[in-house]
Each structure stands twice: as C-alpha cells, then as structure tokens.
Amino acid sequence: MIKLLTYVIERVMIVDDDPTDLYILNRILKKNNFAKIITQFSSPEKALQHLLSNHKKNFFFPQMIFLDINMPLMNGFEFLNEFNKIPENIIRNTKVIILSSTCDPRDFDKMKAYPNSLMFFEKPLKSEDLDLISTIL
C-alpha cells in the first residue's frame, strides 16, 4: 500500500544568508512534511528577483516565507519593504515568519508594521514552532 504524504502548505520560501541555518530549516520543514515545495535563497535580493519575475504566475508564489532579519546588504525589513511593493492581490495570501538569532524586542515591534508578518521566532526554528504555526494557518 502506498502512503500519500500530506503537507501543511504547498509552497514555502526560505531567505537566510547563513548556509547552516538554511540547511537546518530545510531539514525541519521536510521532516515535518510542512511544505511540498521548498525554495531557498541565501540572498534577499535574489529572492525578491525570483518573486518579482514570478508574481504574475500566482501558482509559483509561496504561501509562506521564512525570513531572516539580520543579513548583509539587505536586511529582512528592507526585504519586506520591497516585498510590499508587489501588488496586494498577489501577496495577500503569503504569510511571513520572521527568524532571528537575537530576540530584540525592537525587531518584534517593527514586525508588526508589516501586515503579512505572522510570527517572530528565535533561530533555530523547532518542530514545536511549526506545530504552533500550523494551528494558526
């Protein structure tokens, strides 16, 4: 008998400049059958370029983005500023999970200014965190 995998959501994007964090999050998402398709970028600029080139093809747009805050050249909040320039009817169904190696309350407060931001977690993300995310989707 073939067991069919069920996923929490179809498409996820990870944006993190740290290769170790990318690897760990990718493994946790796969281990927990969180997403069927996982796209990852080590550069927020390349992630935005990908989103902008695919935003007219709604099928390819991620339903969730796991976004690191502290990255060189373009930080997570700068990414969100650019992300919010994509037409609202395209990004409306994309939720953003903010990830940070430091839990600075100012970052948590900044996150509230972005309507697509769903939650804030300290790295590394844990299976229990995914359970919590799943309950509010």
**Per-residue pLDDT reduced to its tens digit, 85-106:** 998 988 999 999 999 998 888 8
Specify the length of the chain in residues.
Answer: 137
* CA torsion, ordered 134, 91, 60, 76, to nearest 10 deg: -80
Q: What is the pLDDT of residue 46?
A: 97
Is the pLDDT confidence value at 54 over 90? no
Six token digits for residue 48:
């935005």
Q: Which residue has the tokens 């927990």?
A: 32
Q: Is 28 exposed, middle or buried (0-12, 13-18, 19+ CB in 10 A)?
A: middle
pTM of model > 0.85: yes
Six token digits for residue 26:
């990718």
Q: What is the pLDDT of residue 70?
A: 95
Higher pLDDT, 6 or 4: 6
Lowest-confidence region among 38-42, 54-58, 100-104: 54-58
Which amino acid appears at position 94 of this protein? T
**CA separation for the pair 10, 38 (Å, rounded):** 9
